């Protein structure tokens, strides 16, 4: 198998990962006819990570926050897209190993982002539910809805309580937004879907090891977010670590045990590992790659890293920029210019992060926003949050669908997306003796075939 990419004689820029940084870089470079651009991702779509929690809570469809990779580049003859995974980089040969075979590069850009960080705890990795991709958000939605269905028929009160309760670990934006939405569902949606269940028994817990929520935000926003969550009915537990989880009980460092079958892990991220460039001297905290102010990976002139993967020190950010969309997009935008300068032998421009602020929504009409010049909370902050996220989505159609869903949900307190969607199991091969017997008896009806398969 081969990647089957034509040799054009032009410098080849290979971009691995189509998150915020990789997509921004690709779109800026796609108009250049003096380069060949190769885009690699394991998915054929771009994912809008800030709204994963709305997929997990049945507020949005997965397709609303996903955008086909090929669409922005349909008229770009110099852009080649390959859906595969990169397993290793060989810098000495300027090649990378992929599921489609070996591929040459002149300039390599790694924008593979980050994944859930379980801090080495295998128990949490096996039993907790992460939310770092659309598929994981959809799996969490299935889990929650399936457990509500099971709670309907559970005869044991303890079993029913475990199926209803949800524990969210991590007080960052994801944890705050998810727990707030779950609390609103408990109050407005779930009692209508399941009138036989007593949802006053259901508890939503948010556990954070730090003494405050939303660590990077202002003190006022931290306090307001906690106040909003508690008003919604969320049990906020600060300054407490999660020690263990046996599938039924969450053990906290304060000695408390919480009964739940639903443990959601939103407690941190770590950079994705890439064999070939992730040497000990190149790694920073959280597995990020040390890069200079031009995003060049330490020790290499033609390998770059962007966004969550890159640890770039600035005066204000000595340990690297926050692992958010804005640093990745700003780095991608500048790198597109710097690659043009590098090819022409011109000096590159150093990156300087422009902090545009941070925000998080807590619930209906409730959000916190910190701008460089102003911090505000409440209804207006919620409108600003909606506007910023809506116009950050790639694709006009996606924006329209999201707006319709938000508009409908706001006035009806309901959505029609609470669907349990399971993957169909692969078709089992018929045993040889059954196949032979069937051939001897002629073609059987579909019902008879099903009976044979069931009997097998």
> How many residues are given for the chain?
456
Chunk the chain into consecutive blocks of 10 residues (it has 456) and report each block's average pLDDT, rounded to whole numbers. Answer: 85 96 96 94 94 93 92 93 96 95 96 93 94 93 95 95 97 96 94 94 97 93 96 97 96 96 94 88 88 95 96 91 94 96 94 94 94 93 93 84 85 79 66 55 43 38
Helix, strand, coil % in the chain, rounded to nearest 5? 40, 20, 40
| DSSP helix/strand/coil, 239 | coil
In 39-83, alpha helices (H) = 52-56
CB-CB contact of 305 with 312 (8 Å): no
Q: How many CB atoms lie within 10 A of CB 342?
A: 19
pLDDT at residue 448 in the model: 42
Q: Cα–Cα distance between 154 and 141 in angstroms, integer?
A: 20
Give the model's pLDDT for residue 428: 56
Pick the catalytic residue from 61, 177, 184, 208: 177
pLDDT, position 397: 79
Active site residue 177: yes
Instruction: Spell out the domains of the chain, with CATH numbers in brackets.
Output: 12-42+84-116+270-343 (3.50.50.60), 122-267 (3.50.50.100)
At residue 11, the pLDDT reads 95
Q: Kindly state the DSSP code that residue 323 receives in the 8-state scheme.
A: S
């Amino acid at each position: 198998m081969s990647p089957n990419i034509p040799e054009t004689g032009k410098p080849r820029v290979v971009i691995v990962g189509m998150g915020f940084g990789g997509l921004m870089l690709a779109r800026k470079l796609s108009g250049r006819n003096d380069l060949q651009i190769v885009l690699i991702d394991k998915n054929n779509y771009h994912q809008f990570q800030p709204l994963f929690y709305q997929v997990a809570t049945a507020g949005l469809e997965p397709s609303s926050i996903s955008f086909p990779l090929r669409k922005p580049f349909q008229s770009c003859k110099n852009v080649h897209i390959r859906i595969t995974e990169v397993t290793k980089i060989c810098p000495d040969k300027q090649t990378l190993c992929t599921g489609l075979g070996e591929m040459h590069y002149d300039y390599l850009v790694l924008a593979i982002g980050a994944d859930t960080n379980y801090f080495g705890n295998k128990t949490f990795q096996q039993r907790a539910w992460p939310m770092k991709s659309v598929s994981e958000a959809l799996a969490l939605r299935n889990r929650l809805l399936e457990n509500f269905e099971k709670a309907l028929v559970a005869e044991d009160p303890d079993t029913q309580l475990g199926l209803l309760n949800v524990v969210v670990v991590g007080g960052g934006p994801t944890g705050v937004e998810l727990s707030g939405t779950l609390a609103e569902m408990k109050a407005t949606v779930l009692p209508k879907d399941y009138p036989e269940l007593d949802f006053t028994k259901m508890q939503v817990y948010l556990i954070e090891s730090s003494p405050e929520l939303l660590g990077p935000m202002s003190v006022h926003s931290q306090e307001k977010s906690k106040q909003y969550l508690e008003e919604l009915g969320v049990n906020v537990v600060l300054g407490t670590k999660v020690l263990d989880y046996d599938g039924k009980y969450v053990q906290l460092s304060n000695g408390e045990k919480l009964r739940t079958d639903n443990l959601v892990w939103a407690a941190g991220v770590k950079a994705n590992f890439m064999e070939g460039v992730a040497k000990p001297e190149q790694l920073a905290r959280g597995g990020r790659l040390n890069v200079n102010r031009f995003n060049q990976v330490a020790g290499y002139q033609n390998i770059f890293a962007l966004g969550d993967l890159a640890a770039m020190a600035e005066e204000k950010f000595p340990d690297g920029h926050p692992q958010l969309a804005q640093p990745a997009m700003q780095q991608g935008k500048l790198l597109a210019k710097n690659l043009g300068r590098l090819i022409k032998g011109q000096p590159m421009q150093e990156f300087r992060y422009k902090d545009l602020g941070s925000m998080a929504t807590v619930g209906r009409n409730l959000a916190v926003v910190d701008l460089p010049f102003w911090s505000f909370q409440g209804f207006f902050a919620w409108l600003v949050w909606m506007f910023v996220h809506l116009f950050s989505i790639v694709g006009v159609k996606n924006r329209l669908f999201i707006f319709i869903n938000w508009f409908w949900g706001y006035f009806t307190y309901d959505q029609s997306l609470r669907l349990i969607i399971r993957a169909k199991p692969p078709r089992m091969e018929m045993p040889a003796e059954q196949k032979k017997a069937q051939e001897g008896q002629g073609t059987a009806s579909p019902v008879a075939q099903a009976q044979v398969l069931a009997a097998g």
